Amino acid sequence: MSADIFKILASFTSPEEIGVNPQSMLWVLPLAAAIAVVYKAIKMPKITPGKFIKESAMLFGSIVVFIIATAVILCFVAYIATE
């Protein structure tokens, strides 16, 4: 039992290896969802399920759109700078 616990704890000492490819950007989606849910849970004065889900989804969508827009702009700037 304790060996299993030590293996789990040891896994937190080294970072997770995430590649540098377009598919690795999918790891941003759970992070953006967690940020949206926690932010709305803190900021909403009264939480009702329908409104909470709607506002969390809207915030999640705006975060993802902003990340995509930023990536496109940075790729364009990098393309202009290297040409």
For residue 35, what are the contacts with CB-CB under 8 A and spacing of at least 6?
A: 63
What is the mean pLDDT of the segment spanning 9-14?
Answer: 80
CA 74, chain centre distance (Å): 18
Calculate the average pLDDT of the chain.
90
Question: What is the token pair recorded at 20?
Answer: 């540098």
Q: Would you call 45 helix, strand, or coil by DSSP?
A: coil
What is the mean pLDDT of the segment spanning 56-83?
Answer: 95
Q: Is 22 exposed, middle or buried (CB count within 10 Å of its CB: 0-12, 13-18, 19+)? A: exposed
pLDDT band at 65 (very low <50, low <70, confident <90, very high): very high
Give per-residue pLDDT as tens, 50-59.
999 999 999 9
This prediction has a pTM of 0.73
pLDDT band at 49 (very low <50, low <70, confident <90, very high): very high
